[in-house]
Chain A
Amino acid sequence: MDLKSKLEILADAAKYDASCASSGGAKRDSLDRKGIGSSGGSGICHSYTPDGRCVSLLKILLTNACIYDCLYCINRSSSHVRRARFSVEEVVKLTLNFYKRNYIEGLFLSSGIIKSPDYTMEELIRVARTLREDHAFRGYIHLKLIPNADPRLLEEAGRWADRVSVNIELPKADSLEKLAPRKEIGDIRRSMGHLRGVIDEQPRHKGRSFAPAGQSTQMIVGADDANDGHILTTSAALYGGYKLKRVYYSAFSPIPDASKALPLKAAPLIRENRLYQADWLMRFYGFDVAEIVSGGEAGMLSLDMDPKLAWALKHRERFPLDVNLASREELLRVPGLGVRTVDRILSSRRVRSLRGDDLARLKVPLRKVSPFIVLPDHRPTKLLDRADLQAWLKPPSTQQLDLFAA
């Protein structure tokens, strides 16, 4: 099989992994002229595909052959997809050639399990080690870890990679048992715990050498019956327990040659979007899972509106808030005010009292915030009492770009 065909198969097989982040890597450059590449700081998206996703890394599998039979996975052993396998050298050359042309920030390498978890992990490590040692590659490397590989191999992977990730796969442990019979939640959690242990023990002052961009994970949404409450509870426990940098949510999307045990229809992408918004509320806005879920019904977030607005509509007694007096924590709970805007408000109001046109200049969506705030020139007269507030907040689509002026 030629390189192009392999690339087609092994990129296609990798596209169900949501992450393509290249941020947080160690600060490196190649000013010493000995190698190639640089990293550090925020990541770069070198392109975008028509699904709106960023292309930052060469995201491929080493092979899509797999001895496991996880039902949600296109590469499961019982699937009829074409199989291919890159050699270590091929991945190394492809990465360097793409990198020199400024197509990518680096490599995100994953693999189906072949022979054994340890063998597979060793092959992935070989690619990363060859890039780092033989070619002095200073770009970004993200390695997917195989949960039940030997802990020593997990540690070696973290020495070459900027980021490592173990996929939690599904939000509920019993779904994992049903859909991925050979994956053990215990193995997955122990691997994450082990990585956190190693990351914690690194001396802070010397600059991190072990997985400087930390660890992340991915959860498939909509392949089992877990509701959004389950999903967010699991995420909160993962963030708290293993100091994950990110939990990625991937709406289950139909795969060629799907298994009968799975829903055939894609989970709505908007559900995935709502989960990301909720995840943000947990990490940056001081919300806890129960509060976020209270905005929806029966453990599910509202699909019609973002979770902060949904929460606020059910907690109208906490509004309206005076923009010139409310605390940072309170302002962060106003629908339509983001972290940056809130910080700008706080900095501006120290000098002068803010009015409606100040908020307009700060690009605040006025219609959305208006029922929830008080300004010297604005009082939400009984807006909060309206039963149809949700409908009122949604402007007709033709006016969406209009700034509310009243």
Chain B
Amino acid sequence: MPHPNPDIHRVQLAGDTDFAGFRDAARLHLRAGIPPGRVVWDTAEPGGDLFGDAPAPPLPQGEQRAPPRVSRAFLDTAQSVALHREPGRFRLIYQLLWRLCDEPRLMSVASDQDVMRFHDLAKAVRRDIHKMHAFLRFRDIYSPDGEAFVAWYEPDNHIVEAASPFFVKRFASLRWTILTPERSAHWTGDELLFGPGANRRQSPQGDPLEELWRSYYANIFNPARLNTDAMRAEMPKRFWKNLPEAALIPDLVAGAAARTAAMIEAAPTFPVHRRGAELPEPADAAAADAQGLPAIAAAAKACRACPLWEQATQTVPGEGPETARLMVVGEQPGDLEDIAGRPFVGPAGRIFDQALAQAGVGREGAYVTNAVKHFKFEPRGKRRIHKRPAAGEIHACLPWLEREVATVDPEVIVMLGASAAQAVLGRAVAVTRERGQPFRLPDGRWGVIATHPSYILRLQTEPEKDAAFAALVSDLKTAADLIGPSPGSPA
């Protein structure tokens, strides 16, 4: 039927969701330079033979335009917009395409009226699909040939085809049918078929499981937190008529205040008597009782002599043979040591192991521990950033180190970095100046100061790293050479 106004181009689409038809027609009309105001997009199912009187392609008017190149994301969004019930949706998409010819960066302007509207419509459609996935309820029709399910649902937009593949992925092994006023979808177990709309009376009226579902719904609700606005924002009332559980809402809301008041008024019961929280034992008392490395480690687990225990995962005790003649003291466990509960297993630990091996000492020949036995850190996003322990924390942890020294009784103690040296020597130490020179500790053991392997990790250039690593190896070797001949070996 010709339109009375010859300037108006009427495009007949093959139904509400005919995006392919729209795309072809839009391309032709853009090429012909027909402005958005002169195209009418008709989505009503054509009465007669659709292909019998296909309209002639539009004749060029004014300036001809090359259809703009659009992104995949634009097409996806446009396809969603096409499913909206809004009658002007195809005109809006055409208008955007028209404008994109002159304004190629238009889609970046999120605040543009047309762009905004385009995204709003797509969002409404996606939300409608999401709500269909959420609020559709299947009912078992208890068919003689096994389970078969039927659902009645009323979407806001033309989304039945778009929403159905989700149910295929989820319920491919079942047979089911979705009825809506406009369309129906039917999964045979092999094939997804679409048909005409239906009415509610054609759908089953109940399912015995719904009683259990309502019990669950009523009991998972917490009357002390009544917040009907939040509920209605996500589950507006128009959905309630097809949700078996929604019939309970009025009574649950009405009874909530009374149930909460009853809980508060009910006399509280007295808890079983329990002794008060014990004060944490100072580390030195707990440490003094511990005999042998396993006992020291076990006692240190409960240490609360400084606040570091509270946010750390666990105490990380020293590790190595009780008969070791070389003891290496580091600063504190790092992120990975804190998780593993073992010293020197992170990146610095790997450097340390390499240096130890190059110095001719195996890790198994040394007792390895830290001055502070809890990880000190500052959270930053998804990571924990190492923080240097304070003097007070080093001091609080000292009894554990002293017990380890007394128990292992090493001949040589290597202090890696300033915190370790501070713990062993009780004074601030300039590591770069004092490293590598053996000296006698007050109790007669040999002491050697070396850089901490994590210092090497922090250096920027390879030559710097290589030099620092070589120094560490050399200092460990110095320490190893201080060990006297073992009692059994020939002098």
A positions within 8 Å CB-CB of B = 3-4, 7-9, 11-12, 14-16, 29-38, 44-55, 58-60, 69, 71, 78-80, 94, 97-98, 100-103, 172-174, 177-178, 181, 185-186, 189-190, 192-194, 196-197, 233-234, 236-237, 239-241, 243, 251, 253-262, 264-266, 269, 283, 288-289, 344-345, 347-348, 350-352, 354, 358-359, 361-362
Q: Which of B109, B219, B269, B272 contacts A7 (CB 8 A)?
A: B219
Q: Does B487 contact A (CB under 8 A)?
A: no
Q: Please state if B170 and A12 are interface contacts (CB–CB under 8 Å).
A: no
Is B340 in contact with chain A by the CB < 8 A criterion?
Answer: yes
* A257 to B262 Cα, complex, angstroms: 10
**B271/A71 in contact, CB under 8 A:** yes
Q: Is the CB of A256 within 8 A of B311?
A: no
Minimum CB–CB distance for B121 against chain A, Å: 14
Tell me the smallest distance from the CB of B205 to a CB of chain A, in Å: 14
Would you call B260 and A181 a contact (CB within 8 A)? Answer: no
Is A11 touching B264 in the complex (CB atoms < 8 A)?
no
B313 CB contact (under 8 Å) in A53, A193, A269: A193
A264-B268 contact given A49-B220, A348-B111, CB 8 Å threshold: yes
Asked if B256 CB lies within 8 Å of chain A CBs, one says yes
Instruction: Give a binary string over B123-141; 1 marks a CB under 8 Å from any A CB, 0 the rest.
Output: 0000000100111111110
Q: Are B130 and A52 in contact (CB under 8 A)?
A: no
> Is B209 within 8 A of A97, CB to CB?
yes
How far is it, in angstroms, between the C-alpha of A359 and the C-alpha of B111 when the chains are bound? 7
Residues on B with beta carbons closer than 8 Å to the beta carbon of A269: 225, 227
Q: In the complex, which of the residues B215, B263, B310 contacts A11, with contact meaning CB atoms closer than 8 Å?
A: B215
For B382, the closest partner residue in chain A by CB is A243
A31 near B340: Cβ-Cβ < 8 Å: no
Check: B73 CB closer than 8 A to any chain A CB.
Answer: no
Besides A31-B169, A47-B135, A241-B338, 5 more A-B contacts (Cβ < 8 Å) are A7-B219, A15-B219, A50-B221, A233-B311, A259-B270
> CB of B467 within 8 A of chain A?
no
Q: Which B residues lie within 8 Å of A241 (CB)?
A: 311, 313, 335, 338-339, 377, 379, 384
Please, which residues of chain B bring their CB within 8 A of the CB of A255? 263
Q: Is the CB of B173 within 8 A of A259?
A: no
Chain A residues near B309: list those with CB within 8 A. Answer: 173
B11-39 vs A: 1/0 string, CB under 8 Å? 00000000000000000000000000000
- A93→B271 CA distance, assembly (Å): 38
User: Is the CB–CB distance between A29 and B169 below 8 Å?
Assistant: yes
CA distance A230 to B252 in the complex (A): 36
**In angstroms, how far is the closest chain B Cβ from the Cβ of A18?**
10
Given contacts A15-B221, A197-B340, contact A362 B269 (CB under 8 A): no
Known interface pairs A255-B263, A264-B268; A361-B111 also in contact (CB < 8 Å): yes
B468: Cβ under 8 A from any A Cβ: no
Please name all residues of chain A whose beta carbon is closer than 8 Å to the beta carbon of B170 when the two chains form the complex. Answer: 29-30, 36-38
CB distance from A153 to the nearest CB of B (A): 18
Q: Does B229 contact A (CB under 8 A)?
A: yes
**Pick from B134, B171, B268, B384: contact of A45, CB under 8 Å:** B134
Given A47-B217, A348-B111, A101 and B140 contact (CB-CB distance below 8 Å): yes
- Say whether B483 faces chain A, with CB atoms less than 8 Å apart: no
Interface code B162-205, partner A: CB below 8 Å = 1, 0 otherwise?
A: 00001111111110000000000000010000000000000000
Question: Is there a chain A Cβ closer than 8 Å to B238's Cβ?
Answer: no
A259 touches B268 (CB 8 A): yes
Known: A15-B220, A44-B134, A177-B277. A193 touches B379 (CB 8 A): no
Question: What are the residues of chain B within 8 A of A361 when measuring CB–CB?
Answer: 111-113, 116
- Complex Cα distance, B274 from A197, in Å, reads 36
| B119, closest chain A residue (CB) | A344
**Any A CB within 8 A of the CB of B451:** no
Q: Closest residue to A355 on the B side, CB-wise?
A: B111
14 CB-based A-B contacts, threshold 8 Å: A14-B220, A29-B170, A36-B170, A38-B166, A38-B169, A45-B234, A53-B222, A102-B138, A177-B277, A190-B341, A193-B341, A258-B268, A350-B105, A354-B111
B277 and A186 form a contact (CB under 8 A): no
Sort chain B's interface into a size bin. 35 or more
Report whether A239 and B249 are in contact in the complex, using a CB–CB cutoff of 8 Å: no
Beyond A58-B216, A69-B272, whether A52 also contacts B228 by CB under 8 A is yes
Q: Contacts A101-B137, A260-B270: A4 and B379 contacting too (C-beta < 8 A)? A: no
Q: Are A190 and B384 in contact (CB under 8 A)?
A: no
Chain B contacts for A80, CB-based, 8 A: 269
Partner of A51, one of B108, B225, B384: B225
Chain B residues with CB under 8 Å of A103's CB are: 137, 213
Interface contact A239-B134, CB-CB below 8 Å? no
B173 to A30, Cβ gap below 8 A? yes
A194 and B341 CA atoms in complex are apart in Å by 10
Closest chain A CB from B212 CB (angstroms): 6
Q: Which residue of A lies closest to B280 (CB)?
A: A174
Closest 6 CB pairs of A and B: A52-B230, A240-B379, A358-B111, A236-B379, A344-B110, A52-B227
A79 to B268, CA, bound (A): 10
A33–B140 alpha-carbon span in the complex (Å): 19
B341 partner residues in chain A, CB cutoff 8 A: 190, 193
Tell me whether A102 and B151 are in contact in the complex, defined as CB-CB below 8 angstroms, given that A178-B277, A197-B340 are known contacts.
Answer: yes
B108 touches A348 (CB 8 A): yes
Give the residues in chain A near B134, CB-CB below 8 Å.
44-47
CA distance A106 to B137 in the complex (A): 15
Nearest-Cβ distance from residue A255 to partner chain B, whole angstroms: 7
Instruction: Give the CA-CA distance A9 to B167 in the complex, in Å.
Output: 32
A50 touches B313 (CB 8 A): no
CB pair B263 A254 closer than 8 Å = yes
- Asked if B234 and A189 make an inter-chain contact with CB atoms under 8 angstroms apart, the answer reads no
Residues A30 and B263 in contact, CB atoms below 8 Å apart: no
CB distance from B481 to the nearest CB of A (A): 38
Smallest distance from the beta carbon of B229 to chain A beta carbons, Å? 7
Q: Report Cα–Cα, A233/B377, bound state, in Å.
A: 12
Q: Which one of B172, B231, B274 contacts A33 once the chains associate, using CB atoms below 8 Å?
A: B172
A344 touches B111 (CB 8 A): yes
The answer to whether B219 touches A50 (Cβ under 8 A) is: no
User: B297-327 interface mask toward A, CB cutoff 8 Å, 1 = contact, 0 = none?
Assistant: 0000110000001111110000000000000
B224 at the A/B interface (Cβ < 8 Å)? yes
* CA A54 to CA B380, docked complex, whole Å: 30
| B140 shortest CB reach to chain A, Å | 7
When C-beta atoms are compared, the residue in chain B nearest to A262 turns out to be B268
CB contact under 8 A between A12 and B274, given known A254-B263, A347-B110 = no
Is B271 a contact of A36 with CB atoms below 8 Å? no
Q: Are A7 and B216 in contact (CB under 8 A)?
A: yes
**Please, which residues of chain B bring their CB within 8 A of the CB of A186?**
301-302, 314
A154 → chain B closest CB, angstroms: 14
Interface contact A260-B235, CB-CB below 8 Å: no
- Chain B residues within 8 Å of A97, by CB: 209, 212
Q: How far is the CA of A15 from the CA of B167 in the complex (A)?
A: 29
Which of these, A33, A35, A240, A289, contacts B377 with CB under 8 Å? A240
Q: How far is the CB of A177 from chain B (nearest CB, A)?
A: 5
Cα distance A172–B311 when bound, in Å? 10
Question: How far is it, in angstroms, between the C-alpha of A361 and the C-alpha of B115 when the chains are bound?
Answer: 10
- CB A298 to nearest CB in B, in angstroms, measures 20
Beyond A44-B133, A50-B253, A236-B379, is A253–B225 a contact (Cβ under 8 Å)? yes
Report which of A31, A79, A258 forms a contact with B263, defined as CB distance below 8 A: A258
Are A283's CB and B235's CB within 8 A? no
Q: Which residues of A contact B272 (CB under 8 A)?
A: 69, 78
- How distant is the Cα of A129 from the Cα of B49 in the complex, in angstroms? 58
Tell whether B245 is near chain A: CB-to-CB under 8 Å: yes
| Complex interface: chain A residues within 8 A of B381 (CB) | 239-240, 283
Q: Which residue of A lies closest to B262 (CB)?
A: A256
Does B94 count as interface, using CB distance less than 8 angstroms?
no
Task: Report Cα–Cα, A38/B167, bound state, in Å.
Answer: 9
In Å, the complex CA distance between A97 and B310 comes to 44
Q: Are A100 and B171 in contact (CB under 8 A)?
A: yes
| A256 to B266 Cα, complex, angstroms | 8
